[in-house]
Chains A and B, each alone.
Chain A
């Protein structure tokens, strides 16, 4: 299944957000936040968050800011 992660194409077998993070190699304890189709998905709901073909996923981490 084709998924867009941070604007990059990925061909994955995962069908949930939690499975996607694992398949892409994100550390389970990584300090990241996730959104699917522009909507925030809290960490506790990633396992129940389904992914459809072509889904847009954002994975963000802390950075410097003004």
Chain B
């Protein structure tokens, strides 16, 4: 079983909690997914508002480990402060570290990400860095003390699937022992299965489930795809070939 900072998750499907039509549908989706982790965030709260408390109670009832994020942060300072606030509110030293460098693609700023990761690791955090599939960036993040990597499949919310198969394969091959999660851009269950078939240890899905016509049903579909993809990876898929090779034996074939 893959360990994420020493913790074995009950499922390789991580689920985001944003954009669902209602709290009830969110709860149904998390249960149907059998999610191993749910991601959460922080927002400004006015005095007297109970929104944060209500959401927190809902998450606690689901009894799934939480992974807070630093979504929306564009600088090292913003991300570090947000992580520190999240640690106090959610009571976990896990942090999905996002430092966004470009607004149209929400592409991670790898330079700021490495710097923020270094600061947070020194401060006792267990960092899950949201990154591009950059090999050198991955090396720097590991050197900064990250023990998990989270490369993107495609831009957040785009549903485009695995945009750079070669890059994701190379990343997996270069760091075979590092737990890695494909995060962002996955649109349909076959994309998730593909990530798992490549040998990724988990996938993180949000929009593809939350924005489906039937989120709970889609959550279940993703759970099955993740399980199938993982099983296929462990079963060691055949090599792809350019030419046909008959599957029916040719020996003993009649000449007519």
Is B69 interfacial (CB 8 A cutoff)? yes
Residues of B within 8 A of A62 (CB): 40-42, 52-53, 55-56, 59, 89-90
Q: Are B17 and A65 closer than 8 Å at their CB atoms?
A: yes
B207 / chain A contacts, CB cutoff of 8 Å: 66
Whether the Cβ atoms of A66 and B89 lie closer than 8 Å is no
Q: Is B88 an interface residue (CB 8 A)?
A: yes
Measured in the bound complex, the distance between the Cα atoms of B43 and A6 in whole Å is 10
Give how many B residues have a beta carbon under 8 Å from the other chain's beta carbons: 40
Partner of A66, one of B48, B53, B71: B71
Q: Mark the stretch among B4-12, B79-87, B159-167 that contacts chain A.
A: B79-87
Rounded to whole angstroms, the CA-CA distance of A60 and B70 in the bound complex is: 12
B53 neighbours in A (Cβ, 8 Å): 30-31, 61-62
Rounded to whole angstroms, the CA-CA distance of A58 and B89 in the bound complex is 14
Residue contact B45 to A59, C-beta cutoff 8 Å: yes
Question: What is the 8 Å Cβ interface bit string for chain B, positions 14-35, against chain A (1 contact, 0 not)?
Answer: 0011111000001000000000
Q: Which residue of A lies closest to B45 (CB)?
A: A61
Select from chain B the residue with minimum beta-carbon distance to A34. Answer: B85
Task: Collect the chain B residues with CB atoms within 8 Å of residue A38's CB.
Answer: 77-78, 81
Chain A residue nearest to B26 (CB atoms) is A64
* Chain A contacts for B232, CB-based, 8 A: none
Q: Does B244 contact A (CB under 8 A)?
A: no
**Residues of chain A whose beta carbon lies under 8 Å from any beta carbon of chain B:** 6-7, 24-26, 30-35, 38-40, 42-43, 58-66
- Which B residues form the contact surface with A (CB < 8 A)? 16-20, 26, 39-49, 51-53, 55-56, 59, 68-69, 71, 77-78, 81-82, 84-86, 88-90, 156, 204, 206-207
User: Can you add 13 more A-B contacts, CB < 8 Å, to A24-B47, A58-B85, A62-B40?
Assistant: A7-B44, A33-B86, A39-B81, A61-B42, A61-B43, A61-B44, A62-B89, A63-B42, A63-B52, A64-B17, A65-B42, A65-B68, A65-B69
User: Can you name 26 A-B pairs with beta carbons within 8 Å?
Assistant: A7-B44, A24-B47, A30-B45, A31-B56, A32-B45, A33-B42, A33-B85, A33-B89, A35-B81, A61-B42, A61-B43, A61-B52, A61-B89, A62-B41, A62-B53, A62-B90, A63-B41, A63-B43, A64-B20, A64-B26, A65-B71, A66-B69, A66-B156, A66-B204, A66-B206, A66-B207
